[in-house]
Chain A
Amino acid sequence: MFISDINKKFLRISFVYFCISLFLILFGAVYEYFSHGVYSYFMIYAFCIPLVFGAFLYFIKALKANPSKLPSASDILYSASIATFTVGSILKGVLDIYGTTNRNTVAYPIIGSAILIISAILALINKFNKNKELNNGGYYEK
């Protein structure tokens, strides 16, 4: 099977997210081990965010026969939203386990969602422009 440079690029991104997920599993396990039986779902399942929305999604993208484009501004924002959700989840886990709260933790899902929405809008605009180019007889680079 032919694997283009773009496929490889997405595979690399997927692998990085996979490594981050593994690190978070390890980090969560060690943190829970020293937390005297106090646990937080935000800590335990923080690894799911980069695993599902990072590693898995980019792996699917890499498997696509004709990846439509190189990582774009939309992808960069998408990665930023994953980072925001993940860091927010870990932080909430740390505070939960200590038995404390901080209103700043509300910012993470809000900012993460806002970036995700902008990323989705950019992706739609890109897709719209690409279709327009094709309809006008143009081509796009693989």
Chain B
Amino acid sequence: MVFYIVLLVFTVYTLLDTFVITRVYSNEVSNNLSTGISSEDYNTDSHNITKTANSYSDDNIEITVTEYEQNDTVIYVADVRLSSASYLKTALANGAYGKNVTAKTSEISESVGAILAINGDYYGARESGYVIRQGTLYRNTPSDADALAIYSDGTFEIINQSEISAEELLEKGAVNVFSFGPALVEDGDIAVDQNEEVGRAMANNPRTAIGIIDDLHYVFVVSDGRTQESTGLSLYQLAGFMKSLGVKTAYNFDGGGSSTFVFNGEIMNNPTTNGKSIKERSVSDIVYIGY
């Protein structure tokens, strides 16, 4: 009898440890790795900002948001052109790296003054996989997942984590490294099989992805899903869509209820976990465009 009580207590503790108990391992070092400009210092008047419901432009950043409909799914695409890779950034929930440290994409986005933001790889849901954000190495335990390295010059590279260490990636100039995946497009070709999925997902889902078209020219993509209006995309469909946008490299981020697209402070997609209520899920991190 005692054994069964111990088994129950241990199982409940494991569930709480996985989903509830917050552990902060370190605080975010800096959000301004390359520019040295903080969003507070940034003077909006001096950058010739032009904003509409679907676009943003200033001296350094041009963003155009377009809605597509494919495979019975609404897809939100932000076409982004930058004058410097330093405007492509990442941020951690509550400015801290840890387990169960989460906040909504829109909240993190607001806290860093993002112009455009999407959810990241939700590193906190896993115990392995490289985590490098804004030039700081937070986790160097490799996982089986494809990793995406974004270098200081803004280029993308798909990494096999068994072939290179996180420290070596930092030395090579990686500013941000994500461990979710898989890679959707590599060298302009679709890199996933028709039946490939994240873990063991066999259905279409909301998705989040990022791709690079050319130097300092990116696309941020979020698809709806799990609703009557949008069924969602399979990874293969997403990869095909990314390829149709002309990307050379594209990478899949955390999807499902995490998929969120925030532009000019507004949530543009319909984030949902259960398909019934439209509600943002809290996540570990975001990828954003901003100062």
Contacts and interface: CB of A to CB of B under 8 A. Distances in A.
B7 A100 contact: no
Contacts of B203: 36-38
Q: How large is the interface on A (under 10, 10 to 19, 20 to 34, 35 or more residues)?
A: 20 to 34
B128 A101 contact: yes
Kindly name the residue among B3, B19, B205 whose own CB sees the greatest number of chain A CB atoms within 10 A: B3
21 contacts: A36-B201, A36-B274, A36-B275, A37-B205, A38-B200, A38-B201, A39-B201, A39-B202, A40-B200, A87-B11, A96-B199, A98-B19, A99-B198, A100-B126, A101-B128, A102-B17, A102-B127, A104-B10, A104-B14, A104-B17, A105-B14
A86 B127 CA distance: 23
B18 interface: yes
A105 B47 CA distance: 53
A87 B203 CA distance: 27
B37 interface: no
Nearest to A105: B14
Interface string B80-98: 0000000000000000000
B205 A36 contact: yes
A5 B10 CA distance: 36
B185 to A, nearest CB: 22
A83 B14 CA distance: 16
B256 interface: yes
Contacts of B200: 38-41, 96-97
Nearest to A77: B3
Contact of A83 (B4, B202, B205): B4
Given A39-B200, A99-B198, A101-B127, A87 B7 contact: yes
Given A80-B4, A83-B7, 20 more contacts: A36-B201, A36-B203, A36-B205, A37-B205, A38-B199, A38-B202, A38-B203, A39-B201, A96-B199, A98-B125, A99-B122, A99-B125, A100-B18, A101-B125, A101-B126, A102-B14, A102-B17, A104-B14, A105-B14, A107-B10
B226 interface: yes
Interface of A: 34, 36-41, 80, 83-84, 87, 91, 94-105, 107
Contacts of B122: 99
Contacts of A104: 10, 13-14, 17
Q: How large is the interface on B (under 10, 10 to 19, 20 to 34, 35 or more residues)?
A: 20 to 34
Contacts of A84: 7
Interface string B177-220: 00000000000000000000011111111000000000000000
Contacts of A100: 18-19, 125-126
B24 interface: no
Contacts of B125: 98-101
B127 A103 contact: yes
- Closest 6 A-B residue pairs measured CB to CB? A37-B203, A100-B125, A104-B14, A38-B201, A102-B18, A37-B202
B15 interface: yes
A119 to B, nearest CB: 12
